[in-house]
Amino acid sequence: MPLPEQSALRRAGDLDDQTLVRLAMAQDATALRTIMTRYNQRLYRLARSILVDDSEAEDVLQEAYLSAFSHLADFRGDAALASWLSRIVINESIARLRKKRRFPTVPPAHPGPDSAQIIAFPNTASPDDPERHMAQRQILELVEKTTDSLPESFRAVFMARAIEGLSTEETAELLDIKPETVKTRLFRARKLLRERMEAQVGEVLGDAFPFAGERCASVTEKVMKRLGFPSDPKET
């Protein structure tokens, strides 16, 4: 049986943004949580596309939410809530980036165990299929690494258009550029990505179409059984 809070979140998840904002202005905890869970991934990816740093993006996301929730009365509904929040995140990210450039810090030699991980794209690997899961993770890391290497202006457009699926017009409004500029930057971003991934993909091709571990052993034992051989004691 779902907990009361879980049931409330499900009900709030069906509400439109305007209703959620009204409830959030009244300090409704469920509405605030629903707004965050609804837009967390998009806003995180936007922040990260500018900062290219997981923990920095998480910090900015938190600060942006605090800023947004303290100024909900300023949200007039002229634009979508996602656009309004995205603009706050972008402004916070740019401000953080400028501060970092003015006061650079030396990064730690090795990330700590609590360092954040970039939100991965969905993958279909079964928990019982570690080889395929590993291969998919390597591909995703390659995509993330190559995306991070794009010029900043290309990276933000690519993240908004290709990963978050925003339209050209939405991306133009979000980044305050012309639609034609969005199209040009997206084309160039994809071209750069293709070239850079082609140069690196050889590093992971050896792990493509994995067939090892339990999957390999299972098929081997099935064939041996059909041939009339006893099962391998090590596999039983």
Q: What is the average pLDDT across 93-106?
A: 75
pLDDT at residue 114 greater than cutoff 50 = no
* 235 φψ region: left (φ > 0), alpha (ψ -120 to 50), beta (else): alpha
CA distance from start to end of the chain: 39
Give the pLDDT score at 1: 45
Check: CATH 1.10.730.10 for 130-219?
no
The ranges assigned to domains in the chain are 7-102, 130-219
pLDDT at site 191: 92
Is the pLDDT score of 144 beyond 50? Answer: yes
Cβ neighbours for 14, distance < 8 A, ≥ 6 positions apart = none
Domain over 7-102 is classified CATH 1.20.1630.10: no
Q: What pLDDT does residue 187 have?
A: 95
